[in-house]
Structure 1
Amino acid sequence: MNKHHDTTGPTDDQQQITLRGPAELADALPYMMGYHPTDSIVMVALHGERGRFGGRLRLGIPRSPREWPPVAEQLAECLIEGCERRGSRPDGIVVFLCQDPAEGETGRRVMERLRPLAQRLRTACGTLDVPVYEALCISDGRFWSYCCPDTRCCPPEGNPLALPGTSVMAAAAAYAGIQVRGSLRDMEERLRPWRYDVAVAAEQLRALDSAGAALVPRILDIDGRDEVRADTIRLAEELLRRLAGAPRIMDPTAADAQDDQLIGHDEAAAVILGLQDRETRDRAAEWMEGAEAAPALRLWRALARRCVGAYVEHSAAPLTLAGWVAWSTGDEPGARVALALALEVDPEYVFARLLHQACNEGLDPESLRRCLRQERDARAAGEARAASGAQAASRARVGAGARAVSGAGKAGRRPRSRQVRLPAAERAASTTLPGSVRPEGAAARARTRAARRSGGRGSRSGR
């Protein structure tokens, strides 16, 4: 069960379409959600006399019927209060129960098994004085109404769903540019750990173990932590460039397979463990727009798939980053799916909770983008000041060393004990800086001047 529900508010400036009857409601569901919800409870608020769609909510169907009563009460309260916060209390609610049959089960059997859940939801909404106008079960390509007793329009065997792309809703969605991204299960599969190849997953697990043994001691060390952060960002940037340069593939499964091949096990392990540091994760969140966004989203999805075995909890960071980039680029359905999975892995992951709430409440991601841009600009300015200060300090050290050597030469002594050993870059710079003197040249001239003052000439020994 997914314990973190998705809620969405109404959107403005959309073409208005009138839906008549359970068949058109069932057909409209994937267009309202952006995908085909599977194993889900979906509740949609209705407003006004014409039943305008408002906020909507999705939750995974609890496996145990014992959970149905409290879950129904919580969902009804959450949807109604959410609509009130956005401006108006709903006048009615439509409920959808979507679940595919298990092996050996029929769609009609699924409908009967979920009937008590539908009744619990209707009762919970009615207790809050908001009626449920329609409750539908969608299973195995058919739909049933829990509210209509007329077998002429709602027969016991159910009604078939409309063929994809043939309804008025489908035509309007295509005109508006609304895409249905497949099923919820398909979207989640792109983000879940590898399960298709046990041997490959075992290799990734060994890489994660090795990276953990090498990186965790460095992360716990104050000095080593900064190095790990820099290494993680540098490697992630390299992976971004690699993914951005790969050929574009439209099929999602083939595209994910290509991304998996472009990232090595050791590379994935290093970035996954590095992202467990909050500052590193926040730095990576800056790849949220423009040309960086698409490869960043692919990278976070690929890393989430690499969190195999005991490292499943480590996927909270890349899943949250995937949700953030999706939300930032306008893909709200994809954002809600990724953030819900992050909270499924770690319910206390604060960044995911905040993003999930903001996305569900219909907030504008621009405010967070603005904060991240300011953070990036401030860091760049700080790095520029640090580089300028380091360069000035380098010149000062070179000048001080040169003056010390020059003074030693004038005293007639070879300044071995006072000679300043400069780093390689500074030694190279000292040959071009004004006022700099080669130490060996100063000593040679000092010996020459001393010999001239004594008036003697050099003599060969042993004669």
Structure 2
Amino acid sequence: MSLPDNKLTVRSSADLVAAVPYLLGFRPSDGSIVVIASRDRRIVFAARGDLPAPGAPASRVLEVAANLVPVLRRQQPITDLMIVGYGAEHIDPALLTASEALTASGMPLLELLRVTGTRIFNLTCDNPDCCPPQGTPFDPIASLIAVQATAAGQVALPNRAAVAARFAPVDGAARASMRRATTKALIRLKAVSADDKAAADEAGVRAVRDALRKHDLGERLTDDEVAWLTLLLRRPSVRAIAVDLTQPHDRHVTFWADVTRRAEEALVPAPATLLALAAWRCGDGTLAGMAADRALQVDPAYRLADLLLQTLHAALPPAMFEQAIVKARTNPSTR
């Protein structure tokens, strides 16, 4: 079985478990359930959720499964479904309930696994020769999958907190410097747009092109450049250019993460949404969703971030989101 883009090949349960962090972008914590769908031996979808606390009624587990069913159906046709749970054996009943609910909706289950530390337990196999009751040991670090993924440039961060840290706001002296730079940029913007409103749009287009070009050459933007860029990104026409120029490259993810970190709080929504877009185009749904959430934390009415998040949660095809971007540009109420 191959992973997206045919970068890795999964040949065993241990390979599948080793691949999960690279599918998600981070290592799931205990209490997680990961659902993986494949089509003709090719993985096409992976999603993580939180299992209810031990002792919770079965209805809570059924709610988790019910939320996944419509998302999985959008990936049809699905030929195999794999479920991996994380934690001690007390989560087994919840995993079994979730798997029964998913298979009852017509999705074939290939494997149901539980991972505890460095051991894998197969909940659908009772043959002690291949699935011993004490679990099968595996080393996620020394796994061939981990080696191949690293060589292919795929990254698995230790947890979701590490993903959020990629675009967490700077503080201390760095924040004070950005605040001063933003104050200067405000004065500059007023002067530029005082006599000609179109001048600010033109300046924004130049700022986006120059910033991405400079980053692509390996240079980091100064605080003054970041402040100027984030102010101009409030203009819909400037943001539209940034959307068009943002490419599915790790370097653009890194660029918008840095701009989001350094932007003043009120100016975060635009760069955070562009970070989400870059991550989404690179296939990193976790980072994309968290960055879109960050934009909406600052401005709950920021429509483009909301559209992106809805698309991610529904696991709609990429083309659907691109269509949403076009609609957003033609809707005067969209920001």
**For 1:203 and 1:281, how far apart are their aligned partners in 2?**
26
Q: 2:48 corresponds to which residue?
A: 59
Q: What percent identity do the matched residue pairs reach?
A: 21
How has the CA–CA distance of structure 1 residues 128 and 63 changed in structure 2, closer, same or farther, with 3 Å as cutoff? closer
**For 1:59 and 1:223, how far apart are their aligned partners in 2?**
52
Q: 1:83 corresponds to which residue?
A: 75
For residues 345-364 of structure 1, the aligned pairs below 5 Å read 345=294, 346=296, 349-352=302-305, 357=311, 360-363=315-318
Q: What whole-Å deviation, never above 9, does each CA across 1:338-386 have from its counterpart, x for those lacking one?
A: 4212332327654345556389555469x88xx9xxxxxxxxxxxxxxx
Correspondence 1:28 to 2:5:
no
SS at match of 1:126: helix
Correspondence 1:320 to 2:257:
no
Q: 1:332 corresponds to which residue?
A: 283
1:193 to 169, 172, 186: 169
Q: Which has the larger radius of gyration?
A: 1
Name the aligned partner's letter for residue 279 of structure 1: S
1:193, CA displacement in angstroms?
A: 2.7
Is contact 1:218–1:225 with CA below 8 Å preserved after alignment? no
Is contact 1:281–1:317 with CA below 8 Å preserved after alignment? yes
CA RMSD of aligned residues (A): 4.5
Is contact 1:272–1:318 with CA below 8 Å preserved after alignment? yes
Name the aligned partner's letter for residue 238 of structure 2: T
Correspondence 1:38 to 2:28:
yes
SS at match of 1:332: coil
**Size of the alignment, in residue pairs?**
307
For residues 181-260 of structure 1, the aligned pairs below 5 Å read 181-183=155-157, 185=160, 186-194=162-170, 198-200=171-173, 202-203=175-176, 206-207=179-180, 210=183, 226-246=198-218, 259=220
Is contact 1:42–1:96 with CA below 8 Å preserved after alignment? yes
Q: TM-score, normalised by structure 1?
A: 0.52
For residues 17-416 of structure 1, the aligned pairs below 5 Å read 19-20=11-12, 22-30=13-21, 33=23, 35-39=25-29, 41-47=33-39, 52-61=41-50, 68-79=61-72, 81-84=73-76, 88=77, 90-98=78-86, 110-112=87-89, 114-115=91-92, 117-148=94-125, 153-156=131-134, 158-164=135-141, 166-167=143-144, 169=145, 178-183=152-157, 185=160, 186-194=162-170, 198-200=171-173, 202-203=175-176, 206-207=179-180, 210=183, 226-246=198-218, 259=220, 262-264=221-223, 266-288=224-246, 296-307=252-263, 310-311=265-266, 314-325=267-278, 331-333=282-284, 336-345=285-294, 346=296, 349-352=302-305, 357=311, 360-363=315-318
Name the aligned partner's letter for residue 182 of structure 1: A
Q: What whole-Å deviation, never above 9, does each CA across 1:206-254 have from its counterpart, x for those lacking one?
A: 34874797589899x997753443344434444334434447xxxxxxx
Name the aligned partner's letter for residue 304 of structure 2: F
1:170, CA displacement in angstroms?
A: 5.8
For residues 419-430 of structure 1, the aligned pairs below 5 Å read none
How has the CA–CA distance of structure 1 residues 128 and 284 changed in structure 2, closer, same or farther, with 3 Å as cutoff? same
Q: What whole-Å deviation, never above 9, does each CA across 1:145-173 have from its counterpart, x for those lacking one?
A: 444456773445x4433354543x56776
SS at match of 2:245: coil
Name the aligned partner's letter for residue 315 of structure 1: V
* Unaligned residue ranges in structure 1 (runs of 5+): 1-8, 99-109, 248-258, 372-463
Q: TM-score, normalised by structure 2?
A: 0.68
**For 1:62 and 1:275, how far apart are their aligned partners in 2?**
39
**For 1:159 and 1:218, how far apart are their aligned partners in 2?**
68
**For 1:233 and 1:18, how far apart are their aligned partners in 2?**
45
Q: 2:331 corresponds to which residue?
A: none
* Unaligned residue ranges in structure 2 (runs of 5+): 327-335
Is contact 1:96–1:136 with CA below 8 Å preserved after alignment? yes
Q: What whole-Å deviation, never above 9, does each CA across 1:274-300 have from its counterpart, x for those lacking one?
A: 22332211112232459xx67654431
**For 1:141 and 1:214, how far apart are their aligned partners in 2?**
57
**For 1:10 and 1:287, how far apart are their aligned partners in 2?**
28
**For 2:301 and 2:69, how far apart are their aligned partners in 1?**
24
Is contact 2:15–2:143 with CA below 8 Å preserved after alignment? no
**For 2:233 and 2:114, how far apart are their aligned partners in 1?**
41
